[in-house]
């Protein structure tokens, strides 16, 4: 099943998101009006109330326009029926680079951008040590479920719990629209 969403970036430029939902995979791809791919975000719904965030990516030349944030907000809307589930992913600042094999930005800059993005969008970054020390605070996380990937131990993850909230998107006749500021303040 595919759905289309219409959004403006921070500069007022119209974008179209295509949301593909197939079995347990959700893909969000953001395009400009000429159908150039601006960014993408991919999830997999898993057992034990988990949703794995494979990747979130915005091409370097389009950064700073709110594209990744709009995709994250759209993902919150698309995943609204999964309240109580934990979205988690591997924390990888290099994923924020313009080319994973050939970084165009320094690692400290990528680190700063990644932290800012995740925190702004309601995710927490936690390393395995912090999880072990503050286990009571993170009792909803599971060491085996959340700190391993394909049998390998993970040092840092990002996560957030899906909670009911006011969404910045709404559906009308099968299309998804971003609420403008006037609609949000009604």
- Among residues 53, 62, 50, which one has the least CA distance to residue 125? 53
With a threshold of 0.95, does the pTM exceed it? no
Residue 106 pLDDT: 79
Q: At what angle do helices 107-120 and 67-78 cross, to 10 degrees?
A: 40
Residue 184 pLDDT: 43
Residue 183 pLDDT: 45
Domain count, the chain: 1
Residue 108 pLDDT: 87
- Residue 56 belongs to domain spanning: 2-184
- Distance, CA of 93 to CA of 88 (rounded, Å): 15
First CA to last CA across the chain, in angstroms?
32
**Do residues 29 and 45 make contact, with C-beta atoms less than 8 angstroms apart?**
no
Residue 95 pLDDT: 64
Residue 61 pLDDT: 83
What is the dihedral angle through the alpha carbons of 123, 80, 37, 70, rounded to the nearest 10 degrees?
-60
Q: Output the domain CATH number for residue 131.
A: 3.40.630.30
DSSP 113-178: HHHHHHHHTT-EEEEHHHHHHTTTTTTTS-HHHHSEETTEE-SEEEEEE------SEEEETTEEEE
Kindly give the parts of the chain with pLDDT less than 50. 99, 182-186
Task: For residue 105, give every residue at least 6 positions away whose Cβ sits within 8 Å of its Cβ, in sequence order, or none.
Answer: 60, 96, 97, 98, 113
């Amino acid at each position: 099943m595919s759905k289309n969403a219409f959004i403006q970036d921070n500069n007022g430029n119209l974008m179209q998101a295509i949301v593909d939902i197939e079995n347990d995979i959700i893909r969000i791809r953001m395009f400009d009006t000429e159908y150039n791919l601006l960014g993408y975000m991919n999830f997999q719904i898993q057992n034990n109330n988990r949703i794995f965030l494979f990747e979130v990516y915005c091409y370097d030349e389009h950064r700073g326009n709110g594209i990744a944030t709009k995709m994250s907000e759209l993902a919150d809307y698309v995943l609204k029926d999964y309240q109580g589930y934990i979205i988690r992913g591997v924390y990888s600042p290099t994923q924020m680079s313009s080319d994973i094999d050939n970084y165009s930005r320094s690692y400290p800059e990528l680190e700063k951008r990644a932290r800012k993005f995740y925190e702004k969008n309601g995710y927490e970054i936690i390393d395995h040590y912090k999880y072990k020390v503050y286990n009571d605070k993170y009792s909803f996380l599971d060491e085996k479920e959340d700190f391993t990937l394909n049998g390998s131990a993970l040092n840092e993850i990002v996560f957030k719990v899906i909670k009911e909230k006011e969404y910045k998107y709404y559906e009308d006749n099968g299309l998804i629209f971003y609420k403008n500021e006037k609609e949000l303040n009604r």
